[in-house]
Amino acid sequence: MMKSKISVVAPAYNEQGCIEEFVTEMNLAFEENSYSGEIIIVNDASKDKTLPILQDLQKRFPRLRIISHRKNRGLTSSMITGIENARYDIIFFTSSDLESHPREDLPKLINALEQGYDVAIGWRVNKRQGLLKTILSKSFNALVRHLFKVHFRDVGWVRAFRKEVYYNIESMRSDWHRYFVILAAQQEYKIKEVPLRFYPRKSGKSKYGRIGLKRIPGGFLDLLVIKFLTSFSKRPMRMFGSLGAFLIAFGLLCGIYVLYLNFVALEAVGTRVPLVLLTVFLLVAGLQLFGLGFVSELIVSHTEKQKRKQG
């Protein structure tokens, strides 16, 4: 028997074609498994009849809660809104488009948390997609494995987790919902991947999951930012100092070569102006990176002292 109560969080944007079935199926999932808790639908400024349908459903299902955004804010913001308004310590985050089946997936992921895991993520075992999406997905997963040393097959789908995980990872930013599992893994939370079935949409089109070439640069930069935050935010000198030392060492080698040409090979320095400028640039840039590292360490030290005082 599940002792902890569950808060289901599901964003909805123009989902009038499937929102009633989703809420009905999710309510059945609670009843069939004797769960207690709430179903939070974050209406992300839908322009169709999603909100009126939800308001009618509220009369039938007391555990249904509706939170509405005045303007469309995206999936990550909807996720944050739902989690921060959730009443209970177990969060089940899913989409409301029925690509994930509530009655199948809710008990499977909650069962993983009952086994002692902090996060349970769904892995779409039967999803079929086009060549471009397949290439982008595999490339993204390969980059994630290389940068963060994790081996998850599907980091961006449905998940269940303890609320404390959300408050102990780096603050979520725009489009960072897909990196939630990565951030949790960097904090050494216990994560289990659970195979789940993927169901094609019955109505409407995906509003949150579109993949396009325009999103690739932003996604790549987001991964680099997360890598920096999780690896170097507590010890910035490790990165800035290493880069600074490399540039200084390279600059010294260039300087030694310039001196060799001038005093041994007896070549006029004036014929090597670009090399001299490169030497100066490397030395100055290296020293600046060292300085930036020291300033960053001071900021981190001050921040940690403030946290201890507040604690």
37-53, pLDDT tens digit by residue? 999 999 999 999 999 99
Q: What mean pLDDT comes out for the span 21-43?
A: 96
In this prediction, residue 13 has a pLDDT band, given cuts at 50, 70 and 90, of: very high
With 0-12 / 13-18 / 19 or more C-beta atoms within 10 angstroms meaning exposed / middle / buried, residue 182 is buried
Question: In this structure, which amino acid lies at residue 242?
Answer: S
Give me the residues paired with residue 196 across strands: 124
**Cβ partners under 8 Å of residue 193, min gap 6:** 120, 121, 122, 123, 152, 153, 154
Compute the average pLDDT of residues 240-254: 92
Quote the pLDDT of residue 1: 43
* Residue linked to tokens 């809710």: 106
| CA–CA separation, 132 and 150 (whole Å) | 24
Give the number of C-alpha atoms closer than 13 A to the C-alpha of residue 150, restricted to the C-beta side.
24
The share of the chain scoring above pLDDT 90, in percent, equals 53
Section 15-36 average pLDDT: 95
3-class DSSP assignment, residue 49: coil
**Confidence check: pLDDT of 273 > 50:** yes
Please work out, in degrees rounded to the nearest 5, the angle formed at the alpha carbon of residue 96 by the alpha carbons of 159 and 43.
110
Query: Mean pLDDT, the chain, as a whole number?
Result: 86
pLDDT digits (tens, 9 = 90+) for 180-231: 999 999 889 999 999 999 888 877 666 555 555 566 777 778 888 888 877 7
- pLDDT for res 129: 67
Q: What is the pLDDT of residue 215?
A: 66
Is residue 289 within 8 Å of 237, Cβ to Cβ? no
Over residues 257-280, mean pLDDT: 84
**Cα 164 from Cα 128, distance rounded (Å):** 34
Percent of the chain at pLDDT > 70 equals 91
Q: Is the pLDDT of residue 176 over 80?
A: yes
Q: Are 293 and 240 in contact (CB under 8 A)?
A: yes
CA distance 150 to 145: 5
pTM of this structure:
0.77
Nearest in space to 253 (alpha carbons), one of 275, 285, 284: 275
Looking at residue 304, what is its pLDDT? 67
Task: Give the whole-angstrom CA distance, residue 59 versus residue 72.
Answer: 26
Higher pLDDT, 14 or 152: 14
| Dist CA 62 CA 39 (whole Å) | 9
Q: What residue type is assigned to position 149 of the chain?
A: K
Question: Could you give the angle at which helices 19-32 and 102-114 cross, rounded to 10 degrees?
Answer: 40
Residue owning tokens 């994630």: 144
pLDDT digits (tens, 9 = 90+) for 54-87: 999 999 999 999 999 999 999 999 999 999 999 9
pLDDT of residue 97 exceeding 50, the answer is yes
Amino acid at 42: V
